Homo-oligomer: A and B are copies of this chain.
Amino acid sequence: MDYYSKYINKLIEEFAKLPGVGTKSAQRLAFHMLNMPDEQVKAFTDSIIKAKSNVRYCKSCYTLTDEEICPICRSDKRDHSLIMVVENTRDLAAYEKTGKYEGVYHVLHGAISPALGIGPNDIRLKELIERLRGDVKEVIISTNSSVEGEATALYISKLIKPSGVKVSRIASGVPVGGDLEYIDEITLLRALEGRTDM
């Protein structure tokens, strides 16, 4: 790649490190950046620098926030005895968008994955157990329905049960609006197992 200036090669290389960005996309992004007006480039780099220096973990639920305690954990309108466990802040936002969940959250920042070398001590599990000392009635486990998410859910449920706190898991099944013929067998069986009276 000595067809470009070393600065351009370095820029392409840095973009190519981002998730989901291949060499061709990295080239396109790098040249786009070079053609952008200086003030727009500054706005872009400033947004990164500011986010990195201001965003930290909420001391209660460990979501990413710019305050010591995030607005959800601070709110007296939320039910603090109900904790939903999610893998990351984006999953928290997904439930917040529904506007219907009234409890609080606990963000693990990952899921247990022996394949990736991520064990129980690499995610915010100890911090969850500590929160159970307070007045907690139920822990809803909303990790993904992936192999890692399911393993994490099982691990957490075994860990919490002795404490007597109720543990639940969000339902797996056919997505609303989903067409049965396009849904995988495991999901269909889950939907069958989880059927409810009507």
Q: Which residues of A contact B (CB under 8 A)?
A: 3-8, 10-11, 13-14, 17-20, 25, 27-35, 38, 40-41, 43-45, 47-52, 54-55, 64-67, 88-90, 92-93, 96-97, 109
Which residues from chain B contact A64 at a C-beta distance below 8 Å? 4-5, 8, 31, 34
Question: Is the Cβ of B41 less than 8 Å from the Cβ of A10?
Answer: no
Which residues from chain B contact A55 at a C-beta distance below 8 Å? 5, 7-8, 34
A contact face: mostly helix, strand, loop, or mixed: helix
CB distance from A57 to the nearest CB of B (A): 10
- With beta carbons under 8 angstroms apart, the residue of B18, B35, B45, B52 that contacts A48 is B45
Question: Is the Cβ of A31 less than 8 Å from the Cβ of B88?
Answer: yes
- With beta carbons under 8 angstroms apart, the residue of B31, B51, B67 that contacts A8 is B51
Question: Is the Cβ of A52 less than 8 Å from the Cβ of B31?
Answer: no
| Copies of this chain per assembly | 2
**Beyond A5-B55, A11-B48: 9 further Cβ-contacts under 8 Å?**
A5-B51, A8-B51, A8-B55, A10-B50, A14-B43, A28-B90, A31-B89, A34-B51, A38-B52
CB distance from A24 to the nearest CB of B (A): 9
Q: Which of A3, A27, A40, A48 has the most CB of B within 10 A?
A: A48
Can you list 6 contacts pairing A with B, beta carbon distance less than 8 Å?
A: A5-B66, A8-B64, A11-B47, A33-B51, A33-B52, A41-B48
Which residues from chain B contact A38 at a C-beta distance below 8 Å? 52
Which residues from chain B contact A10 at a C-beta distance below 8 Å? 47, 50-51
CA gap between A188 and B45 in the complex, in Å? 46
Which residues from chain B contact A35 at a C-beta distance below 8 Å? 109
CA gap between A31 and B7 in the complex, in Å? 26
CB distance from A8 to the nearest CB of B (A): 6
Question: Is the Cβ of A54 less than 8 Å from the Cβ of B5?
Answer: yes
